A and B are shown apart, each in its own frame.
Chain A
């Protein structure tokens, strides 16, 4: 594809279509049929735009790049610092990530409009805003919009969770909003520090300033900015020590909502991580700090998953621990590690969505998702059982599924930089993921059904989830599962279908582990 020198048409559309869709479905409120068609058309249009769009830039405030031939330096340093250089970029990485997110959006909208909630308008609107916030963060090349994207994303996450029920959901939303307020303020302070230090909001310009200027004592300000950025990164991905809070958020939302939440979260993690690598990658100890957080997240997340007895909460903790896999790749920062980390982000979104939608389908069978209450589902819904088992294989890094391909790249890159302990942790994560998931799958799907119904905590207040009430699993849910399982298998056999979109960024951003 040819890079456009003029403002690219698709970038504003990828942000504005979900925002307009949000406004329209909010106004429609509970006219569910109209909401269904409008939201599906909007979501499908986002898939098409992502596929058809050429690569290029979008400049806000009408200030085009002085040097359009390079992807890195947009503005000349001689220009007065108050020029804003607010810039968006749509390239191969953005195309791959936004396409996957748009695909998940279509599937989630298809499921969400099938009747789980009564007043669908505001809820569907928030799902669209999740897409918009992640799209902003993935495409942006200035700190100002990055911060705005993070703030919008945080508020919308709270909204999606609060809309999923009462009690636990509202508490999780409140805690999350408090922490989001902290991390959002932290990111604003980091923005102010970098702006004060370099005079630039544009990330590429700030990086060039940092690389070409002898900062002397000013690097301490850079460290403080790194600290605040790390806070925001930790919060966006639910990394250690925020992992229990983020898991609570994932566990408190509808499973299909969680599929979209985890997609947004992974994309934010990748985007903020890449900005951190570009801005602070050359600072001593910066990547070591990022790597330590990632490894701890993997370990603590999976241990918490092993302790759970509900498939929904097992998945909530596994999503967080697998976020650590993505960030290991970004923290190592070498070419291979970056390819592995970015590929892991794509794979993670896909196989976790399989498991989450499978978890949602289990609700329709009436006995909740606890390993203590649900049983014998493989007999009632064999295709569902098959899809969840295949999703488990993908999540555990078993060939020929996609999880295997990205994990093997990450293990190889950890060994290449001389960190075999990181490779061992990744292997342990794979094995424990399999144990945690298969234990739940055995109980829920394969164990013979018990005739006595135990009391299920009504976390999702919906008619479909009343204890003991069995409703047919919608065909759309089966179709979504089938599409996702096929994609995980295809990407496991032909990983180059995605990897070729990730290599340009990995080449541009990678830094040797010990320069």
Chain B
């Protein structure tokens, strides 16, 4: 029997967020809701990365005075996934900013936020 741990539950929560995000981005019509779905997707990825770095009973990865390097290496949570999460937060903020800017420009032009109208093919 699979033991239910915080890490496993985090993976399930992350997967749920990712699925909700992808579904929202693909199937919602409102452009702002699509952007919100993207933010959920991004949060799912962040949670997944944090869960990858999780160590049961682990400590924050700061080498404290008196701690031997081997003890630190065995107890510390994986620091790299946390670094990736920081990067992903920056990237998702940048992407959201670009998306919102483009949506504002298109709203001014077409007067609607419905992607079915805004993104409709134009004759070339």
Contact = CB atoms under 8 A, between A and B. Distances in A.
Interface stretch (A160-168, A434-442, A491-499, A506-514): A160-168
A177 interface: yes
A175 interface: yes
Band of interface residues on A = 35 or more
Describe A's contact surface by its main secondary structure: helix
Interface string B46-78: 001100100000000100000000000100101
A249 to B, nearest CB: 13
A148 B42 CA distance: 14
B49 A188 contact: yes
Interface string B91-124: 1001100110011011001000000001100101
A75 to B, nearest CB: 13
Interface string B9-21: 0000000001001
A173 B109 contact: no
B98 A310 contact: no
Contacts of A158: 98, 102
B93 to A, nearest CB: 11
A487 interface: no
Contacts of A296: none
A185 B41 contact: yes
Band of interface residues on B = 35 or more
B80 A178 contact: no
Contact of A159 (B45, B49, B98, B118): B98
14 contacts: A155-B95, A166-B105, A166-B109, A168-B124, A174-B118, A177-B99, A177-B102, A181-B41, A188-B84, A189-B45, A192-B48, A195-B84, A251-B124, A310-B124
Interface of B: 18, 21-22, 25, 31, 34, 38, 41-42, 44-45, 48-49, 52, 61, 73, 76, 78-81, 83-84, 87-88, 91, 94-95, 98-99, 102-103, 105-106, 109, 118-119, 122, 124
Interface of A: 80-82, 84, 144, 147-148, 151, 155, 158-159, 162, 166-168, 170-171, 173-175, 177-178, 180-182, 184-185, 188-189, 191-192, 195-196, 201, 251, 308, 310, 313, 457
Given A158-B98, A188-B88, A192-B52, 9 more contacts: A82-B79, A84-B83, A148-B87, A155-B95, A166-B109, A170-B106, A171-B122, A181-B38, A184-B91
